[in-house]
């Protein structure tokens, strides 16, 4: 048995674990990293990267078929599904070196390609190695949740982990789950030539502001996606190429392929957490505000911590615990400034409170300002005028922003900055945005907050009148 002593042991080489490893080793810590599967984790291999690459293929096909409005003849826009998947693999391959074992060993990280499990409160076994660490980080991420639907175990189905191996385009893709993953893949596949039906037990994109979500849902329906809301998949029948979903209201929906996209579950089953005295919750590892577990020497970050399941959250968590582990400084993880984006077309982005949440929190003192894309000159020039922004403002400070439209995922960063730094709307309004850009949407939203104060205020008009009359 090989015994290793290390300052920091990280279990999981996804985005969070890699961020901790890179930061800690470059600041002088002895770091050991365990990964029993693929370096880069879900985001690189099965999640963010491949999904956005396939979305790009769908956008390219859609653009060819809808170019006449730019004075360019519409083309067939025929998609080669297998070639699109090779494009996906090419994108993964181009990014892989950044997350590779070779790169991290070059930084000085000890990389062990084995799964780890606790054998005591202070020891983790990985293959034939037993590691004792001053601090351990659980960064094991999450996997697709596959619910126990009767008959599902008897038919072939895809998840976000297996979808990328598929090379034959689905004739009719059935998607169970109308959240971000389901809706992104629905639009990508319908643009690549598949028929698509989404089955959602509640409302599609139900965690987002319903006014904004409706814009995305309507666009997908206009493109041909059938979205069945308010019904669940109660039984699965059929065989490869002929799948049947029987819904709660006993309807039969038939297709050629099935994608399960109903959520995620944290990867903790292999860790033997009981041996380390680490408590769990229904959603993941139980942590305090500083991301420490019930074992004070062990932290949990990213999806494993059971909160918001986004790659950028895992990276943010890495920074929080590095401050604590390396410098013994107090550090707490917050969520109010964390943005999220659904990469449909148009995109849907949110940071802070939605309008409903803000009204519940702040009541009648809340102000909601809006600006529509169809008043933005760059959006008009590019024929991307579908969408709008809503900013929730309390006592002159934004407490949330919701955006649906072209490049919403890019626009939301400014509001994440504002919330993180408790900025005022006056500071946003003072920004000079280059013309013509989509970014002016943010500037104009801030302007919409001040417009009634300036242009509809009789006191302001009186002062201006006096100045013009008496000041030479």
Count of C-beta atoms within a 10 Å radius of residue 335: 10
Q: Is the peptide bond before 307 cis (omega within 30 degrees of 0)?
A: no
CA angle 422, 428, 429 (to 5 degrees): 140
- Asked if 95 and 17 touch (Cβ cutoff 8 Å), the reply is no
Annotated binding site for FAD: 52, 116, 140-142, 303
User: What own/partner pairs with CB < 8 Å and gap ≥ 24 does 115-118 have?
Assistant: 115/34, 115/36, 115/37, 115/270, 116/9, 116/11, 116/34, 116/36, 116/271, 117/270, 117/271, 117/272, 117/275, 118/271, 118/272, 118/273, 118/275, 118/276, 118/278
Backbone φ and ψ of 207, nearest 5°: -85, -5
CA–CA separation, 335 vs 332, rounded Å?
10
pLDDT tens per residue across all 472 residues of the chain = 899 999 999 999 999 999 999 999 999 999 999 999 999 999 999 999 999 999 999 999 999 999 999 999 999 999 999 999 999 999 999 999 999 999 999 999 999 999 999 999 999 999 999 999 999 999 999 999 999 999 999 999 999 999 999 999 999 999 999 999 999 999 999 999 999 999 999 999 999 999 999 999 999 999 999 999 999 999 999 999 999 999 999 899 999 999 999 999 999 999 999 999 999 999 999 999 999 999 999 999 999 999 999 999 999 999 999 999 999 999 999 999 999 999 999 999 999 999 999 999 999 999 999 999 999 999 999 999 999 999 999 999 999 999 999 999 999 999 999 999 999 999 999 999 999 999 999 999 999 998 777 667 778 778 778 888 888 7
Task: Return the CATH number of 152-263, one of 3.30.930.10, 3.40.470.10, 3.50.50.60, 3.30.1330.40.
Answer: 3.50.50.60
Annotated binding site for NAD(+): 177-184, 200, 263
**Would you state the pLDDT for residue 457?**
74
Nearest-CA neighbor of 196 among 256, 237, 260? 256
- Asked if 242 and 163 touch (Cβ cutoff 8 Å), the reply is no
The whole-model pTM stands at 0.95
Annotated binding site: 52, 116, 140-142, 177-184, 200, 263, 303
State the span(s) of the chain assigned CATH 3.50.50.60: 2-39+100-143+265-327, 152-263
CA–CA separation, 54 vs 267, rounded Å?
26
DSSP state of 438: T
Q: So what CATH class is 2-39+100-143+265-327?
A: alpha beta
For 339-455, CATH gives 3.30.390.30
**Would you state the pLDDT for residue 464?**
77
State the span(s) of the chain assigned CATH 3.30.390.30: 339-455
And the tokens for 454?
Answer: 């300036």
Count of C-beta atoms within a 10 Å radius of residue 77: 17
Buried b (16+ CB within 10 A) or exposed e, 141-179: bbbbeeeebebbeebebbbbeebbeeeebbebbbbbbbb
CA–CA separation, 65 vs 69, rounded Å?
11
**Would you state the pLDDT for residue 466?**
80
């Amino acid at each position: 048995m090989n015994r290793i002593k290390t300052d920091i042991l990280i279990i999981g080489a996804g985005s969070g674990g890699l961020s901790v490893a890179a930061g800690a080793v470059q600041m002088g810590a002895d770091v050991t990293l365990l990964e029993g599967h693929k370096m880069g984790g879900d985001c690189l291999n099965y999640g963010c990267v491949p999904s956005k690459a396939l979305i790009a293929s769908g956008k390219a096909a859609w653009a060819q078929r809808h170019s006449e409005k730019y004075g360019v003849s519409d083309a067939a826009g025929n998609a080669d599904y297998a070639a699109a998947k090779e494009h996906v693999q090419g994108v993964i391959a181009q990014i892989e070196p950044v997350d590779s074992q070779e790169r991290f060993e070059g930084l000085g990280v000890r990389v062990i390609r084995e799964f780890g499990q606790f054998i005591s409160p202070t020891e983790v076994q990985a293959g034939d190695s037993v590691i004792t660490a001053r601090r351990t980080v659980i960064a094991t991420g999450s996997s697709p949740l596959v619910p126990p639907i009767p008959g599902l175990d008897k038919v072939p189905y895809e998840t976000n982990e297996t979808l990328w191996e598929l090379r034959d385009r689905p004739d009719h893709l059935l998607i169970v789950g109308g959240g971000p993953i389901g809706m992104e893949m629905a639009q990508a596949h319908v643009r690549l030539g598949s028929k698509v039906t989404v089955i959602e037990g509640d409302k599609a994109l139900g965690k987002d502001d319903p006014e904004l979500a409706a814009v995305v849902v309507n666009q997908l329906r206009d493109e041909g996606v059938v979205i069945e809301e308010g019904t669940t998949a109660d039984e699965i029948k059929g065989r490869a190429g002929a799948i049947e979903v029987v819904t709660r209201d006993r309807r039969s929906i038939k297709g050629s392929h099935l994608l399960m996209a109903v959520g995620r579950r944290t990867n903790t089953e292999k860790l033997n957490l009981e041996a380390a005295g680490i408590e769990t919750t229904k959603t993941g590892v139980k942590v305090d505000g500083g991301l420490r577990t019930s074992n004070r020497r062990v932290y949990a970050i990213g999806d494993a911590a059971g909160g918001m399941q986004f790659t950028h959250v895992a990276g943010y968590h890495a920074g929080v615990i590095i401050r604590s582990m390396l410098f013994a400084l107090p550090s707490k993880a917050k969520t109010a400034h964390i943005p999220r984006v659904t990469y449909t077309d148009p995109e849907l982005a949110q940071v802070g409170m939605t309008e409903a949440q803000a009204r519940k929190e702040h009541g009648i003192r809340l102000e909601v300002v809006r600006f529509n894309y169809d008043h933005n000159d760059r959006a008009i020039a590019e024929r991307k005028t579908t969408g709008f922004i809503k900013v929730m403002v309390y006592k002159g400070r934004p407490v949330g922003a919701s955006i649906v439209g072209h490049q919403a995922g890019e626009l939301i960063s400014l509001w994440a900055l504002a919330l993180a730094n408790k900025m005022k709307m006056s500071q946003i309004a003072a920004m000079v945005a280059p013309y013509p850009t989509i970014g002016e949407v943010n500037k104009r939203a801030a302007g919409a907050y001040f417009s009634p104060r300036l242009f509809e205020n009789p006191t302001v008009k009186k002062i201006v009148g006096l100045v013009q009359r008496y000041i030479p």
